[in-house]
Amino acid sequence: MSAPSSLRDLYIDTSSAWAFVPPTIPQLATASEPFSSGASYQWSNRPSHNPIFDLSPSLDLSEVSGINVTNLFKALVASALLHYSSTAIAMPWEVGKLLLQVQWVPRDAGEPEEPELVDDNDDVLSDSSEDDSYFADPQAGPARRAAPWPTDEQGYVMRRSVLEEGTRPEYIIPVGSANGVWGMMKRIGSFRGEGYLALWKGLLTSCITEILSSTAQPLIHNFLQSLFFPSMSPFHQPPLILPVASHLITGFLLSPLDLVRTRLIVQSYTSRYRTYTGPLDALSRILRDEGGLKGIYFHPHLFIPTVIDNALRPIVSLALPSLLAGYLGMQISEETNPWAWAVMELGGSCLGLLITLPFETIRRRLQVQARGTAKPLKGCVELRPAPYNGIVDAFWHILTEERSDLPIKRIKKRRGSQASLKGKERTTSSNDDDAGEGEGWFRHSGIGQLYRGLGMRLGASAIVFCLAFFSVEEGDGGWAEI
């Protein structure tokens, strides 16, 4: 019987078998030199890549983990600069849209009527009336002059029309002189009391609001998910109530900043007529004169529009694309067909603007109203003299007392004799009737006032769709094996 073979040749050291770094092999002959580099390869850590201000964290595991104050500070500064620059780019369009939304354009805003001519009876009391009658024409009628302008209790001339140049305050942009956001932007730049720098009113407040909103909303969303759905998998889509509630809570908490931003944009840019000197002054004066924190958060003219506006936006943006796809009979999702889903999102955003934009307009108009002991705001556009009594009252008065055909065409009148003046009045009234019949209900309805800035928002939605379309084309079609 032969002796058993030795197992010494089959023994493998466990430390070398599970080693990820192969041992260094000594260099052999010249023929094996081309393969020596591959045989002596060492697994190295990925080099750190810092694309923006050297801010990405280092991937070297040998480094001591901890908070680098310098990198943290640089990251915060870089994020603030990016938010500030992006907000500054979009701010002129936002200013033009907001001023169009709060501008009051009454339906009877036309060319002011000519002053009525009355008989001049002062000649009877004049001492030289007998001498002047010798040179007067015996066939001429009595002398007539314009009636005096109506005045208030303090003796100031009262405005009879918002188009009167003589009684319009110098800090108010002429009503109806701009059509669309771009037209309002050009009008602000060319107006003497504003200028091109006025297109960036409220920039700092808008930037702070955007940063706080983008930071607080995900945190509130994660907190609500961990509180009410702790066992939910990250791969499952959360219910619609979570994003709606997170956006609603975030918008409610930041509603004072949104109020301050609206007041800063609407007020006159001229220092002589400026109500607030800055965001801190505006916030302190609003808290002092308009009911404190309770008034700034829970006043019905502020609380109800805030809840409706911040709840409708996420509902529309999240629910309408799937509803539109189901209505068209298409079973698609963002993962299976991203192109078709982008089209559904574009259609949903366009349809959603028809729902959300009127409530946003009403909210802006209620924000510019003074409450409590505060003085009325001196806006750079025409504001309604009488305040609204709520959402329904504002909606009804905008529809019934305002007009939508901007810009307003003005007809210049010339003074003449009494007969010619009557003829011109008849001609002008007939022309106005014909123009009213030709323009239709848009001239006699304020429905267009509820949708100021619609074209700009549709253009922004189209730009977002194009960016998403090109990003889908350039991205990978699926998972790739490493």
Q: What is the pLDDT of residues 10-66, one digit of tens each?
A: 665 655 555 555 555 555 444 444 444 444 555 555 555 555 555 555 555 555 556
pLDDT at 188: 95
C-alpha triplet 404, 410, 413: angle, nearest 5°: 150
Q: Which of 108-122, 270-284, 466-480 has the highest mean pLDDT?
A: 270-284
Give the model's confidence band at 253: pLDDT under 50 very low, under 70 low, under 90 confident, else very high. very high
404 and 442 in contact (C-beta within 8 Å)?
yes
* pTM greater than 0.85: no
314 vs 232: which has the higher pLDDT: 314
pLDDT at 38: 46
Q: Is residue 216 left, alpha or beta, with left meaning phi > 0 and alpha meaning psi from -120 to 50?
A: alpha
Give the model's confidence band at 437: pLDDT under 50 very low, under 70 low, under 90 confident, else very high. very low
342 vs 283: which has the higher pLDDT: 283
Q: pLDDT of 361-411, one tens digit each?
A: 999 999 999 999 999 999 999 999 999 999 999 999 999 999 988 887 765
pLDDT at 124: 44
Give the model's confidence band at 116: pLDDT under 50 very low, under 70 low, under 90 confident, else very high. low
Mapped to the 3 state alphabet, what secondary structure does the chain carry?
Answer: CCCCCCCHHHCCCHHHHCCCCCCCCCCCCHHHHHHHHHHCCCCCCCCCCCCCCCCCCCCCCCCCCCCCHHHHHHHHHHHHHHHHHHHHHHHHHHHHHHHHHHCCCECCCCCCCCCCEEECCCCCCCCCHHHHHHHCCCCCCCCEEECCCCECCCCCECCCCCCCCCCCCCCCCCCCCCCCHHHHHHHHHHCCCCCHHHHHCCHHHHHHHHHHHHHHHHHHHHHHHHHHCCCCCCCCCCCCHHHHHHHHHHHHHCHHHHHHHHHHHHECCCCCCCCCCCHHHHHHHHHHHCCHHHHHHHCHHHHHHHHHHHHHHHHHHHHHHHHHHHHCCCCCCCCCCHHHHHHHHHHHHHHHHHHHHHHHHHHHHHHCCCCCCCCCCCECCCCCCCCCCCHHHHHHHHHHHECCCCCCCCCCCCCCCHHHHHHHHHHHHHHHHHHHHHHHHHCCCCHHHHHCCHHHHHHHHHHHHHHHHHHHHHCCCCCCCC
172 and 192 in contact (C-beta within 8 Å)?
no
pLDDT at 427: 46
Neighbours of 314 (CB within 10 A): 19
Give, rounded to a whole angstrom, the gap between the first and last alpha carbons of the chain.
54
> How would you label 330-351 residue by residue, b for 16+ Cβ within 10 Å and e otherwise?
eebeeeeebeebbbbbbbbbbe
Mean pLDDT of 345-366: 93
> How would you label 438-460 residue by residue, b for 16+ Cβ within 10 Å and e otherwise?
eeeeebebbebbbbbbbebbeee
Burial of 480 (0-12, 13-18, 19+ CB in 10 A): exposed
pLDDT at 238: 78
Instruction: Return the closest-CA partner of residue 144 out of 185, 116, 106, 186.
Output: 116
Mean pLDDT of 338-365: 91
440 vs 299: which has the higher pLDDT: 299
Tokens describing residue 426:
């008849």
Q: pLDDT of 441-462, one tens digit each?
A: 777 889 999 999 999 999 988 8
